[in-house]
Amino acid sequence: MSEGPNQEPLHDVAHIGHAELLTPKAEDSLRFFVDVLGMEVEATEGQSVFLRGWGDYQRYSLKLTEAPQAGLGHLALRTWSADALRRRAEAIEATGLGGGWIDGDLGHGPAYRFTDPDGHAMELYWETERYSPPDHLKPSLKNQPQRYTGRGAAIKRLDHVNVLAADVRANRDFAEQQLGFRLYERIQLDDGSESGAWLSLSIAAHELIYVRDAYGARGRLHHLAFWVDTREEVLRAADLFLDSGIEIEAAPSKHAVAQGFFLYGFEPGGNRIEVTTGGYLVYDPDPEPTVWNELERAKGQAWGVKTVESFHTYGTPVIEEQPA
Amino acid sequence: MSEGPNQEPLHDVAHIGHAELLTPKAEDSLRFFVDVLGMEVEATEGQSVFLRGWGDYQRYSLKLTEAPQAGLGHLALRTWSADALRRRAEAIEATGLGGGWIDGDLGHGPAYRFTDPDGHAMELYWETERYSPPDHLKPSLKNQPQRYTGRGAAIKRLDHVNVLAADVRANRDFAEQQLGFRLYERIQLDDGSESGAWLSLSIAAHELIYVRDAYGARGRLHHLAFWVDTREEVLRAADLFLDSGIEIEAAPSKHAVAQGFFLYGFEPGGNRIEVTTGGYLVYDPDPEPTVWNELERAKGQAWGVKTVESFHTYGTPVIEEQPA
Amino acid sequence: MSEGPNQEPLHDVAHIGHAELLTPKAEDSLRFFVDVLGMEVEATEGQSVFLRGWGDYQRYSLKLTEAPQAGLGHLALRTWSADALRRRAEAIEATGLGGGWIDGDLGHGPAYRFTDPDGHAMELYWETERYSPPDHLKPSLKNQPQRYTGRGAAIKRLDHVNVLAADVRANRDFAEQQLGFRLYERIQLDDGSESGAWLSLSIAAHELIYVRDAYGARGRLHHLAFWVDTREEVLRAADLFLDSGIEIEAAPSKHAVAQGFFLYGFEPGGNRIEVTTGGYLVYDPDPEPTVWNELERAKGQAWGVKTVESFHTYGTPVIEEQPA
Amino acid sequence: MSEGPNQEPLHDVAHIGHAELLTPKAEDSLRFFVDVLGMEVEATEGQSVFLRGWGDYQRYSLKLTEAPQAGLGHLALRTWSADALRRRAEAIEATGLGGGWIDGDLGHGPAYRFTDPDGHAMELYWETERYSPPDHLKPSLKNQPQRYTGRGAAIKRLDHVNVLAADVRANRDFAEQQLGFRLYERIQLDDGSESGAWLSLSIAAHELIYVRDAYGARGRLHHLAFWVDTREEVLRAADLFLDSGIEIEAAPSKHAVAQGFFLYGFEPGGNRIEVTTGGYLVYDPDPEPTVWNELERAKGQAWGVKTVESFHTYGTPVIEEQPA
C-alpha cells in the first residue's frame, strides 16, 4: 500500500494562461500563426498581436511581439483565486526572485512578475476577461468559446511550454515548491544530474517542461506547443507545413516521454513550434515520477525514431556557435 | 473582468478510483469486459472479478459482481491525501448520509462509506495499491502501467460514471459541496428544474454525471463510460460490438453536452456501457457552467442526431413498466 | 470453384470525369463549394464555374451552373482510349438513346452525348486537359496535382454520383451493358423489384448509384459525393457544416451498403452533397453482387442508425408534394 | 489536350491473389501473423499454413511455408477470365520465361507458372474458391467476407508486394508488357538507370514494386504489405509491434513515392513486413508516370523523415556481407 507522505498538495496556480513570443520577423510570424496554425487575431497593441485558438476560454493564449531576437517574452500563469495569487506572490517574494506587481495587460488584471531561477520572465494573475466572439466567430455549440473555422492546422489552444535551463533541477524545484507544479517524468543522466523535467498543474501529462540548455545559456525557449484534438490533425498539419513551406524539424511521431504525439517545425521568426495531441492523463494524486536514464533515452522516441540533433541544442534566442 | 467569488475551491477528492457493477449474468458480462472491451482480469474474490484497462494506474477500475439485478454496486473515490480523507469523512458524517468506515477492499485501504442523497453507495479512500504487471503484461514504455494488448476495444481506463437521480439538483449540490466536484454543464428545464448535471474533479469535462430518473426511482445507474484515446477507436469499437453481437443503443457520434464522442451499448447483464473519447479540458479555474434549455437540447446531439428514446428512460436496475 | 461465365469484361469507360450541378443560388452555392468543401475555382465561363478538389488530375470535377432549378446538368465519363470512345458511341447510338457529338467543353475534347433510360444527360469523352497549377497552388510532392490548402473540408475529388430513377433495373442494365459498369451491390424489394444498384468501373466500391425515385419522377439527382482520405476528415467536415450553418441531413456514420463512411448535407442551392471516405475495394474480377432484402435494409445503417426519411424521398429538382 | 498513344490497354490480369512467404522459423512467424497481424488460419497443408485477412474474398492471401531461408516462395496473380489466363500463358510462353501448367493449389484451379526476368516465381490462375466463413467468423454485414475480430493489427488483406531486382527496368517492362501492369511512379538515377518502379493493375497506387537490389542479387523480396483502412490503425499497429517485441525498422510516416502511410518491421523469420494504408487512387486511364530523381529522393519521405539505411539494402533471403 502506498500511504504517501501525506503532504497537502499545493493548489494555488491553475494553468498557463498565455505565452509571449518574441519574433524578429513580425509579419511573417503573424502569417504563420494565422494562416498555418489557424489562430485568430483578437487584438493588436503596440508591437504586439494577441492571438487565440478556437478553444481558448480567455481572449488569447499567445502574445506575439516584435523584437530584435526570437525567444520567450514571458509566461503568464493564472491562479485558482485572488487569495491564491496573494499567497504565491508572497512566497515568491520571499525567494528573492520576485519582480513586483504590474497593472496587468490586455485581457487580464494585476499581475505579479518574477523570474524562475534560470531567468525566464513569468507572471501570475487572477482576474481575466473571458472571450466574447464577434458575430462571424460565434459557435453553434454554446459550450465552445468560438466557432471552429478549420483554417490551417486549426489549433485549439496553447498546450504546453518547454524552456531550456542551465540547471534543470533548480528550476524544477522552484516550479514544484513555489508554483505547485507536479513532477510526472524526468531524465536523470548517468552522472546523477537532471536533464529534463515534465511538470503539470493538472491531470494533463505536461504543462511546463524544463530541458537542459546544451550551451549552458539562460532564459531560452525550446518550444511552444499548440493542441489539436486528434492525431489525424497532427498528420494533416504536417501536410500543411509541407505545402506552406514551413521547415519541419521532426515529422509526426510519438514521444516516449509523456507519450505525446508531435510535429515540430520552425515559425518564420525562428522559434520552434509543436503541434501536439495525445499523451495521458494523470489521475493519480500521488504518482511516483517516471525516471528515464541515458540508455533508455538513447532508444529514441516511442516507436524508435531517433531524435534529430537540433532538438537537443537549438533554442531561441539562437546561439550560433556549436555547444561545448 | 471576472473577479469571481474568490471562494477557495475544495481540493480533497482526486478522482473516481473504481466502480462496482452488478450483473445477473456474471459469466457473459465477464466475457464482454474481457473479450469485447479488452480488459484484464486482475483478481477474483467471492462473487467479484476485478478488471482493469491497460492505462489504469491502480490494480483495477471495475469490480464486477454477480447479483440478482443489474446496477451500480458502489462508486469509490480516491482522495488527495490521508488528511483530505478524514476531512471529507467528517463533513459527510455531519450531513447524516455517512455510513461509517470499512477496512478496505482488494487493492485499497480503509474507506469511508456513504450514499449520495439519491442513495447511490459511495466510498472514499486514500491508500491504494499501484498496479504491478505480470511478465506477459509488462509494457515497453516505463511510463505506461501495462502492455497494450489491443484486444477488443482495448479500453484504457474507466472514464466517467452517469447515475440517475430522482432529484438532480440535490445530488449535484451534495457532490459540489461535500466532494468538491465542479459543475461544468447542466440542463435546466422550462419549469426551472434541473434534469442533468455534468461534474468533474479535474480539468476533464466530466467524471460524474447526474441525470433525472424518468421513473423518479432512486439509486439507479445510467452508464459506465470507458476511455479510448481516439475517435477511430470508438468507430472500431462499433465494428466490434456489431460483430460480437452486442446491442448498440447509439452509434458513434458527438455529444452536444460536454462534446464527448460516444458509442453506447448494453453489456449482457443489462447495464449500459459507453466507449468514449474527446470532449474538452477545462483549464478555467472559475468557469461559468454552460446551461442548456429544453429547446436547445431538442436539437439532438452535436451533429443533429436525435437521442434514442431509451437513452432518456432506461437504467439499471431495470424498471419494466413505462415511465409516468 | 467458381469458373464464372467467362464473358470477357468490358473495359471501355474509365471513370466519371466530372458532374455538372445546377443551382438556383449560384453565389451561395459557389461559396459553399469554395469555403466549406474547400474546392478551387479553376475557370469561369458563362453561367458556369468550374471547380476542382486538390486531388483531381483533370482541371475540374465539378461544373457549377446557374439554373432555375437545382439538379444534375450532366455526367461526363472518360473512356480508356479514343477507340473505346468510338466503340461506346456506336453501341449507344444503336440503343436509340444517343444524342450525337459535341465539340467538347472547357478542358476536354469531343464528347458523345446521350441519356440513360431515365433521362439523365451524360457524355463520353477521351481527350482531356490535365491540371497545371498556378504558382500559389503548386504542390511540394510531384505526384500530387495541387497543393493541399486544407481550406474547409478540403475534399480531394469527386467520388461518386447517386441518381434517382423511376426504373432502377432498366438503368442498371444500361450502365452494365453499354458502359461497362460492374454491379457490386443491390437492393431487391419483396415484390422482386430493384430499388437500388451500386455500380463501379473500377475496384472502388461505387462510382454510380441508381436509387428508386419515390415519386416515380425521371432524371433527378440524389447526391454528389466528394472524397476525403480519412474518417477523421468526415467528422471534421461535420463540425465545419455545423459552424458554417450548412444543414446536416445525416450525421457521420457508416453505411451498411458499400460500407462507406458518410456525412450528408444540403448545399445552398438545394442539392444533397455527401462527404465520404472508406468503403472497400473490389479486387475480385468476377464478384457475386451482394443482394439486400427489405428486412435487412430496415435495420438501418451499419451500426444501426435509422436512415432519415428525407433520404428516401428528397432529390433535385425538388418535388414539393408528398410521394405516393 | 492529351490525346495519348491510343494504344488499347491490356486488361487480362486482375490482381495479386496471394503471396507465398518462406520462413526458417515457422512457428514464430505463424504466431506473428496470427497474433500480431491478426490473420486467421484458413488451412494447413504439409509445411504450409494458409492465412487470410478479414477482408480477403478468397480463402487466403498468404501462404506461409517453412523453408531453410526467408524469402518469397511465389506470387500468384488472378486473371480477369479463363480466356485471359490462356492469352497470358501463351504470351509468356513466347518470352521463354514460362514454366508450364500446374494443377493448382489449395483454393485455386490450374495455374501457369513462370518467372519474371529477375527470377521471382510467379503464377497465373483464374478459378478460385471464395471464402466461406465458419460460424464463429460469420460477419454481421453480408458485403464483408468475414467477421472483424480486431485481433492484433487486424489487417484486412494483402495489399502489395515489393521485390528486389538486379535490373529494375527489364522487370518493369516485362510486368507492363506481359502482365498489363501500369507504371505510376519510378525513380531514375542520375546515370539514367531505373532504381524503382511502382506498378498497378488497378486504380490502387501500387500492387507490385520493383526496387534495385543493392547486392545485384536476384529473386529477393523487399517486403509484403498488408492493408488496414485507416492511419490510426497503422499507429496502433506500431504500439502492438512495440509491446509484442517486434523490431520496428521504420516508424509510421508517409512515403513521398505513392504517398502510402507505412510501418515497417521484421517478422520473426526475417522477412520485412509493412502495415500500410493511404496513398491515392489513379482514375486517369492514361497517366504520365511520376519520375523522381536522386536529388528529390534524397529529401527523404513526405515529411522529411530520412529513410533508414537497411531499407536500401536488406532483403530476403538475407545476404550477410555488405553491398558493393
Give D122-159 pLDDT, tens digit per residue: 999 999 999 999 999 999 999 999 999 999 999 999 99
Nearest CA-CA partner of C265 in C179, C118, C153: C153
Query: Per the CB < 8 Å rule, is C243 touching A148?
Result: yes
Query: Per the CB < 8 Å rule, is C150 touching A150?
Result: yes
User: B84 in contact with A at a CB cutoff of 8 Å?
Assistant: yes
Distance CA B66, CA D154 (A): 33
Residue pair C169/C78 in contact (Cβ under 8 Å)? The answer is no
Best to test chain D binding among C283, C284, C294, C303 (most D CBs inside 10 Å): C283
For residue B303, the model assigns a pLDDT of 97
Distance CA B189, CA B294 (A): 6
Query: Residues, chain B, total?
Result: 324
User: B139 in contact with D at a CB cutoff of 8 Å?
Assistant: yes
Task: Tell me how far CA of residue A313 lies from CA of A324, B277, B303, D39, in angstroms.
Answer: 10, 36, 46, 45
Four-residue CA torsion sign, D20, D25, D29, D30: positive
What are C264's strand-pairing partners?
C250, C274
Nearest CA-CA partner of A234 in A248, A220, A216, A213: A248
Show residues of chain D in contact with A235, CB under 8 Å. Answer: 231, 254
For residue A122, what is its C-alpha cell?
513569468
Distance CA C324, CA C214 (A): 7
User: A139 in contact with B at a CB cutoff of 8 Å?
Assistant: no
Tell me the pLDDT of chain A averaged across its residues: 96
User: C232 in contact with B at a CB cutoff of 8 Å?
Assistant: yes
Average pLDDT over residues B115-138: 98
SS3 percent helix, strand, coil of chain B, rounded to 5, is 20, 35, 45
User: D304 in contact with C at a CB cutoff of 8 Å?
Assistant: no
For residue C54, what is its C-alpha cell?
486538390
Helix (H, G, I), strand (E, B) or coil at B28: helix
For residue C112, what is its C-alpha cell?
458523345
Distance CA B202, CA C109 (A): 64
User: B263 in contact with D at a CB cutoff of 8 Å?
Assistant: no
Four-residue CA torsion sign, A97, A103, A106, A109: positive
For residue D15, the model assigns a pLDDT of 98
Is pLDDT of A192 > 80? yes
Least CB–CB distance from B248: residue in C231, C251, C303: C303
User: D280 in contact with C at a CB cutoff of 8 Å?
Assistant: yes
Residue pair B239/B245 in contact (Cβ under 8 Å)? The answer is no
User: B258 in contact with A at a CB cutoff of 8 Å?
Assistant: yes
Note the Cα D285 to chain centre separation in Å.
Answer: 22
Least CB–CB distance from C240: residue in A148, A152, A243: A148
For residue D81, the model assigns a pLDDT of 97
What are C292's strand-pairing partners?
C187
User: B135 in contact with D at a CB cutoff of 8 Å?
Assistant: no
Q: What are the residues whose beta carbons fall under 8 Å from the beta carbon of C204, sequence distance 6 or more?
A: C159, C160, C279, C281, C282, D203, D281
For residue C8, the model assigns a pLDDT of 80
Four-residue CA torsion sign, B134, B135, B141, B142: positive
Is pLDDT of B3 > 90? no
Residue type, C207: E
Show residues of chain A in contact with B14, CB under 8 Å. Answer: 283-285
For residue D324, the model assigns a pLDDT of 64
Distance CA A232, CA D232 (A): 8
Least CB–CB distance from D303: residue in A242, A301, A304: A242
Show residues of chain C in contact with A141, CB under 8 Å. Answer: 242
Least CB–CB distance from B304: residue in C232, C251, C254: C251
Q: Is A39 exposed, middle or buried (0-12, 13-18, 19+ CB in 10 A)?
A: buried
Residue pair D221/D163 in contact (Cβ under 8 Å)? The answer is yes
For residue A324, the model assigns a pLDDT of 64
How near does any CA of chain C get to the CA of A140, in Å? Answer: 6
Which pLDDT tens digit goes with each residue over B293-307?
A: 999 999 999 999 999
CA angle D199/D202/D206 to nearest 5° reads: 35
CB atoms closer than 10 angstroms to residue A167 = 17
Nearest CA-CA partner of B66 in B121, B23, B20: B23
CA angle A290/A296/A300 to nearest 5° reads: 110
Is pLDDT of B165 > 70? yes
User: D3 in contact with B at a CB cutoff of 8 Å?
Assistant: no
User: A259 in contact with D at a CB cutoff of 8 Å?
Assistant: no
Residue of D nearest to C293 (CA): D142
Show residues of chain D in contact with A301, CB under 8 Å. Answer: 251
Q: Dihedrals φ, ψ of D171, to 5°?
A: -75, -35
Q: What are the residues whose beta carbons fall under 8 Å from the beta carbon of C96, sequence distance 6 or more?
A: none
Show residues of chain D in contact with A238, CB under 8 Å. Answer: 254, 302-303
Helix (H, G, I), strand (E, B) or coil at B130: strand
User: Which one has a higher pLDDT value, B9 or A210?
Assistant: A210
Residue pair B318/C265 in contact (Cβ under 8 Å)? The answer is no
Owner of C-alpha cell 455534468: B198
Residue of C nearest to A149 (CA): C240
Residue pair D1/C104 in contact (Cβ under 8 Å)? The answer is no
Residue of B nearest to A140 (CA): B302
Query: Per the CB < 8 Å rule, is A152 touching C148?
Result: no
Name chain B's partners: 3 or more CB pairs within 8 A: A, C, D
Residue of A nearest to C149 (CA): A240
User: A243 in contact with C at a CB cutoff of 8 Å?
Assistant: yes
Which pLDDT tens digit goes with each residue over D159-196?
A: 999 999 999 999 999 999 999 999 999 999 999 999 99
For residue D260, the model assigns a pLDDT of 98
For residue C153, what is its C-alpha cell?
473540408
Query: Per the CB < 8 Å rule, is D231 touching C230?
Result: yes
Show residues of chain D in contact with C159, CB under 8 Å. Answer: none
Best to test chain D binding among A248, A296, A303, A311 (most D CBs inside 10 Å): A303
Residue of D nearest to C201 (CA): D283
Average pLDDT over residues B94-101: 98
Residue of B nearest to A231 (CA): B230
Among A1-5, C136-140, D49-53, the minimum mean pLDDT is found in: A1-5
* Greatest C-alpha distance within chain C: 58
For residue B85, the model assigns a pLDDT of 98
Name chain A's partners: 3 or more CB pairs within 8 A: B, C, D
- The beta strands (E) that lie in chain C are given as 13-23, 40-45, 48-52, 62-66, 71-79, 98-102, 111-115, 121-125, 157-165, 182-188, 194-200, 208-212, 221-227, 248-254, 260-266, 272-278, 290-292
User: C296 in contact with B at a CB cutoff of 8 Å?
Assistant: no
Which pLDDT tens digit goes with each residue over A130-155?
A: 999 999 999 999 999 999 999 999 99
The rounded average pLDDT for each run of 10 residues, N- to C-terminus, in chain C (324 residues) is 62 98 98 98 98 98 98 98 98 98 97 98 98 98 98 98 98 98 98 98 98 98 98 98 98 98 98 97 97 95 94 96 74
For residue A56, what is its C-alpha cell?
481558448
Residue type, D177: Q
Query: Which 52-81 residues of chain A touch chain B by CB within 8 A?
Result: 55, 57-58, 78-81
Query: Per the CB < 8 Å rule, is D251 touching A253?
Result: yes
Four-residue CA torsion sign, B199, B202, B204, B208: negative
Query: Per the CB < 8 Å rule, is A151 touching C150?
Result: yes
User: C302 in contact with B at a CB cutoff of 8 Å?
Assistant: yes
Task: Tell me how far CA of residue A298 lies from CA of A35, A212, B287, C259, in angstroms.
Answer: 36, 16, 43, 44
For residue A106, what is its C-alpha cell?
490586455
Q: What percent of chain B has pLDDT over 70?
A: 98
CB atoms closer than 10 angstroms to residue C166 = 17
Distance CA A243, CA B93 (A): 63
Average pLDDT over residues A66-86: 98
Show residues of chain A in contact with C243, CB under 8 Å. Answer: 139-140, 147-149
- The beta strands (E) that lie in B47-201 are given as 48-52, 62-66, 71-79, 98-102, 111-115, 121-125, 157-165, 182-188, 194-200
Query: Per the CB < 8 Å rule, is A1 touching B55?
Result: no
Residue of D nearest to B228 (CA): D236
Average pLDDT over residues D282-293: 97
Q: Is B100 left (phi over 0), alpha (psi -120 to 50) or beta?
A: left
Q: What percent of chain D has pLDDT over 70?
A: 98
Is pLDDT of B5 > 60? no
Residue pair A201/A296 in contact (Cβ under 8 Å)? The answer is no
For residue C320, the model assigns a pLDDT of 86
Nearest CA-CA partner of A124 in A141, A99, A158, A147: A99
Q: What are the residues whose beta carbons fall under 8 Å from the beta carbon of A289, sequence distance 6 or more?
A: A183, A184, A185, A186
User: D135 in contact with B at a CB cutoff of 8 Å?
Assistant: no
User: C229 in contact with A at a CB cutoff of 8 Å?
Assistant: no
Is pLDDT of A3 > 70? no
Residue pair B152/B240 in contact (Cβ under 8 Å)? The answer is yes
Which pLDDT tens digit goes with each residue over C33-66?
A: 999 999 999 999 999 999 999 999 999 999 999 9
Helix (H, G, I), strand (E, B) or coil at B301: coil
Residue of A nearest to B5 (CA): A81
Query: Per the CB < 8 Å rule, is D259 touching C185?
Result: no
Show residues of chain A in contact with D244, CB under 8 Å. Answer: none
User: D302 in contact with C at a CB cutoff of 8 Å?
Assistant: yes
Tell me the pLDDT of chain D averaged across its residues: 96
